[in-house]
Amino acid sequence: MKIDRRSFLSLGAGATAGLAFSPLPWKLMDDSSIWTQNWPWVPVPTDGEASYVDTVCSLCPGGCGITIRKIDDRVVKAEKKDSDNANSGICILGLSSPQLLYSPSRIKTPLKKIEGKWVKISVKEAVAEIAEKLKDLRKDKLSHTLACISGSSSGTVPALFERFLKAYGSPNFITVPSVKDVYKLVFSLSLGSPYVPVFDIANSDFVVSFGTGLLDGWGNPAQAFKAHSILKDNKKKLIQIEARLSNTAAKADKWIPIKPGTEGVLALGMANIIIEKRLYLNKNILFDSVTEGFEEFKALVAKDYSVKAVAEITGVKQEDITALVEDFMKAQSPVALFGRGEGTIPGSLHEMMAVNFLNALAGNFNKAGGVHLLSDNSYINWTEPILDDTAYYGINKKRLDGAGDGKYFLAKHLLNRLPEVLNSSETSPINMLFVTDSNPFYTMADTKLVREAFEKIPFIVSFSSYMDETASMADIILPNHFFLERYQDVVATCGLKPAVGLSKPVVNPIFDTIHSGDAVIFIAKALGGTIAESFAWDDYKACLDETLEAKKDIMDKELFWVDESGVFNAFADAESSGKFEFINDKIRQTKPYTFVEAEGEKKQYPLTLIRFDSMRIASGYTANSPFMTKTVADTVIKENDIFVEINPKTAAEYNLTDGSKALLTTPKGKAQVRVHLYEGIMQGIISMPSGLGHSGYDNYLAGKGININELIGQIEDPASGFDAAWGIRAVLVRV
Amino acid sequence: MSKGSKHKDKKFGMVIDLDKCTGCGACMVACMSENNVPFKENESNKLDSITWMRVYKLENGKSFPDADICFLPRPCMHCEGDHGHAPCVSVCPAIATDYDHKTGIVSQIYTRCFGCRYCMAACPYHARYFNWWDPVWPEGMEKLLNPNVSPRMRGVVEKCSFCHHRYQLALDKAYADGRDKIEEDEYQTACTQACPANAIIFGDLDNKKHAVYSLKKNPNTFRLLERLGTNPKVYYHSSREWVRRAGDNYLKHETTKA
Per-residue CA distances from A228 to A337, A675, A692 (Å): 13, 32, 27
Q: Which domain holds residue B167?
A: 12-246
Same domain, A203 and A236: yes
Number of H helices, E strands in chain A: 26, 28
List chain A residues with CB under 8 Å of B62: 679
Name which of A36, A37, A81, A511 to mutate to probe chain B: the one with the most chain B Cβ atoms within 10 A of its Cβ: A37
List chain A residues with CB under 8 Å of B55: 631
- The secondary structure element, H or E, covering residue A233 is helix A221-233
- What pLDDT is stored for residue A35 in this prediction? 82
Domain count, chain B: 1
Q: Are the beta carbons of A355 and A371 closer than 8 angstroms?
A: no
List chain A residues with CB under 8 Å of B192: none
Question: In which band, very low, low, confident or very high, does the pLDDT at A579 lie, cut at 50, 70 and 90?
Answer: confident
Nearest CB neighbour to B22, from listed A102, A247, A633: A247
Q: How many CA atoms lie within 13 A of A363 on its CB side?
A: 22
Same domain, A272 and A407: no
- What pLDDT is stored for residue A575 in this prediction? 40
Residue A586: closest CA among A421, A349, A363? A349
User: Is residue B251 assigned to a domain?
Assistant: no
Average the pLDDT over A192-214 and give the result.
Answer: 95
Q: What CATH number does residue B132 fall under?
A: 3.30.70.20
Nearest CB neighbour to A630, from listed B39, B138, B198: B39
- What pLDDT is stored for residue A36 in this prediction? 78
User: Is residue B253 assigned to a domain?
Assistant: no
Name which of A83, A256, A679 to mutate to probe chain B: the one with the most chain B Cβ atoms within 10 A of its Cβ: A679
List chain A residues with CB under 8 Å of B150: 44-45
Task: Assess A416–B contact: CB distance below 8 Å, yes or no.
Answer: no
Q: What CATH number does residue A624 fall under?
A: 2.40.40.20
Residues 6+ apart with CB under 8 A from A312: none
Helices (H), A411-446: 418-424, 440-443
Inform me whether the pLDDT recorded for A77 exceeds 90.
yes
Task: Assess A71–B contact: CB distance below 8 Å, yes or no.
Answer: yes
Residue B144 to residue A102, Cβ atoms within 8 A: yes
Q: What is the mean pLDDT of chain B?
A: 94
The amino acid that residue A695 corresponds to is S
Strand partners, A196: A374
Length of chain B: 258
Same domain, A247 and A307: yes
Task: Assess A638–B contact: CB distance below 8 Å, yes or no.
Answer: yes
Domain count, chain A: 4
Residue A262: closest CA among A707, A698, A629, A596? A596
User: Is residue A98 assigned to a domain?
Assistant: no
Range with the lowest mean pLDDT among A14-28, A654-668, A716-730, B1-15? B1-15
Q: How many CA atoms lie within 13 A of A635 on its CB side?
A: 10
Cα A65 from Cα A60, distance rounded (Å):
12
The tens digit of pLDDT for each residue in A602-621 reads 999 999 999 999 999 999 99
Task: Assess A579–B contact: CB distance below 8 Å, yes or no.
Answer: no
Average the pLDDT over A8-28 and give the result.
Answer: 90
User: Is residue A572 assigned to a domain?
Assistant: no
Same domain, A255 and A366: yes
> Between β-strands A432-436 and A146-150, what pairing exists: parallel, antiparallel or unpaired?
parallel
Residues 6+ apart with CB under 8 A from A93: A59, A60, A618, A622, A625, A628
The alpha carbon of residue B257 is apart from the nearest alpha carbon of chain A, in Å, by: 23
Question: A499, A534, A562 — which closes off a domain?
Answer: A562
Same domain, A297 and A316: yes
Q: Which domain holds residue A233?
A: 196-374
Inform me whether the pLDDT recorded for A283 exceeds 80.
no
How far is C-alpha A530 from the geometric centre of its chain's CA atoms? 36
Name which of B64, B134, B146 to mutate to probe chain A: the one with the most chain A Cβ atoms within 10 A of its Cβ: B64
User: Is residue A64 assigned to a domain?
Assistant: no
User: Is residue A22 assigned to a domain?
Assistant: yes
List chain B residues with CB under 8 Å of A248: 22
User: Is residue A170 assigned to a domain?
Assistant: yes
List chain B residues with CB under 8 Å of A703: none
Nearest CB neighbour to A631, from listed B28, B63, B147: B28
Residue B25 to residue A699, Cβ atoms within 8 A: no
Question: In which band, very low, low, confident or very high, does the pLDDT at A37 lie, cut at 50, 70 and 90?
Answer: confident
The alpha carbon of residue B12 is apart from the nearest alpha carbon of chain A, in Å, by: 22
The alpha carbon of residue A116 is apart from the nearest alpha carbon of chain B, in Å, by: 26
Residue A99 to residue B45, Cβ atoms within 8 A: no
The alpha carbon of residue A62 is apart from the nearest alpha carbon of chain B, in Å, by: 13
Inform me whether the pLDDT recorded for A29 exceeds 90.
no
Inform me whether the pLDDT recorded for B147 exceeds 50.
yes
Residue B71 to residue A682, Cβ atoms within 8 A: no
Task: Provide the b/e sequence for B16-31 (b: ≥16 CB within 10 Å).
Answer: bbbbbbbbbbbbbbbb
- What pLDDT is stored for residue B253 in this prediction? 87
Phi, psi at residue B253, to the nearest 5°? -85, -10
Nearest CB neighbour to A679, from listed B63, B150, B154: B63
- Closest chain B residue to A628 measured between Cα atoms? B29
Task: Assess A648–B contact: CB distance below 8 Å, yes or no.
Answer: yes
Burial of B213 (0-12, 13-18, 19+ CB in 10 A): middle
Residue A80 to residue B193, Cβ atoms within 8 A: yes
Average the pLDDT over A439-460 and give the result.
Answer: 95
Same domain, A519 and A619: no
Residue B44 to residue A616, Cβ atoms within 8 A: no
Percent of chain A clearing pLDDT 90 (strictly above)? 84
The alpha carbon of residue A118 is apart from the nearest alpha carbon of chain B, in Å, by: 20
Helices (H), A539-625: 540-548, 551-558, 585-589
Cα A456 from Cα A429, distance rounded (Å):
9
User: Is residue B220 assigned to a domain?
Assistant: yes
Name which of B15, B20, B166 to mutate to probe chain A: the one with the most chain A Cβ atoms within 10 A of its Cβ: B20
Task: Assess A694–B contact: CB distance below 8 Å, yes or no.
Answer: no
Average the pLDDT over B76-86 and give the result.
Answer: 95
User: Is residue A124 assigned to a domain?
Assistant: yes
- Closest chain A residue to B140 measured between Cα atoms? A102
User: Is residue A407 assigned to a domain?
Assistant: yes
Nearest CB neighbour to B22, from listed A98, A225, A638: A225
Residue A43 to residue B142, Cβ atoms within 8 A: yes
Same domain, A412 and A457: yes
Residue A195: closest CA among A379, A372, A447, A391? A372
Residue B146 to residue A45, Cβ atoms within 8 A: yes
Inform me whether the pLDDT recorded for A43 exceeds 80.
yes
Same domain, A557 and A698: no
Cα B122 from Cα B203, distance rounded (Å):
26
Inform me whether the pLDDT recorded for B7 exceeds 80.
no
User: Is residue B97 assigned to a domain?
Assistant: yes
DSSP code per residue over A528-555: -HHHHHH---SSHHHHHHHHHTTHHHHH
The alpha carbon of residue B241 is apart from the nearest alpha carbon of chain A, in Å, by: 14
- What pLDDT is stored for residue A82 in this prediction? 75
Burial of B189 (0-12, 13-18, 19+ CB in 10 A): buried
Task: Assess A508–B contact: CB distance below 8 Å, yes or no.
Answer: no
Q: What is the mean pLDDT of chain A?
A: 93
Percent of chain A clearing pLDDT 70 (strictly above)? 97
Residue B149: CB atoms within 10 A of its CB come to: 17
Residue A95 to residue B153, Cβ atoms within 8 A: no
Residue A194: CB atoms within 10 A of its CB come to: 18
Q: What CATH number does residue A383 fall under?
A: 3.40.50.740
Task: Assess A75–B contact: CB distance below 8 Å, yes or no.
Answer: yes
Residue A630 to residue B49, Cβ atoms within 8 A: yes
- What pLDDT is stored for residue B6 in this prediction? 55
Same domain, A240 and A337: yes
Task: Assess A633–B contact: CB distance below 8 Å, yes or no.
Answer: yes
Phi, psi at residue B83, to the nearest 5°? 55, 45
> Chain A to chain B, count of Cβ pairs less than 8 Å apart?
193
User: Is residue A493 assigned to a domain?
Assistant: no
Residue A174: CB atoms within 10 A of its CB come to: 27
Phi, psi at residue A560, to the nearest 5°? -120, 145
Q: Are the beta carbons of A345 and A360 closer than 8 angstroms?
A: no
The alpha carbon of residue A247 is apart from the nearest alpha carbon of chain B, in Å, by: 6
Quick one: CA torsion of A364, A366, A367, A368, rounded to 10 degrees?
120
User: Is residue B6 assigned to a domain?
Assistant: no
Cα B34 from Cα A76, distance rounded (Å):
8
How far is C-alpha A671 from the geometric centre of its chain's CA atoms? 24
Average the pLDDT over A451-467 and give the result.
Answer: 96
Q: What CATH number does residue A222 fall under?
A: 3.40.228.10
- What pLDDT is stored for residue A378 in this prediction? 82
Residue B114 to residue A30, Cβ atoms within 8 A: yes
DSSP code per residue over B118-178: HHHHH-TT---EE--S-----TTGGGG--TTSPPPPTT-EE---TTHHHHHHHHHHHHHTT
Same domain, A392 and A471: yes
List chain B residues with CB under 8 Å of A699: 41
Inform me whether the pLDDT recorded for A377 exceeds 80.
no
Strand partners, B227: none
Q: Are the beta carbons of B80 and B10 closer than 8 angstroms?
A: no
Q: How many CA atoms lie within 13 A of A535 on its CB side?
A: 31
Helices (H), chain B: 26-34, 87-91, 118-122, 164-176, 190-194, 211-215, 241-246
The tens digit of pLDDT for each residue in A515-551 reads 999 999 999 999 999 999 999 999 999 999 999 988 9
Same domain, A614 and A718: yes
Same domain, A266 and A168: no
More confident residue, A527 or A86: A527
- What pLDDT is stored for residue B257 in this prediction? 67
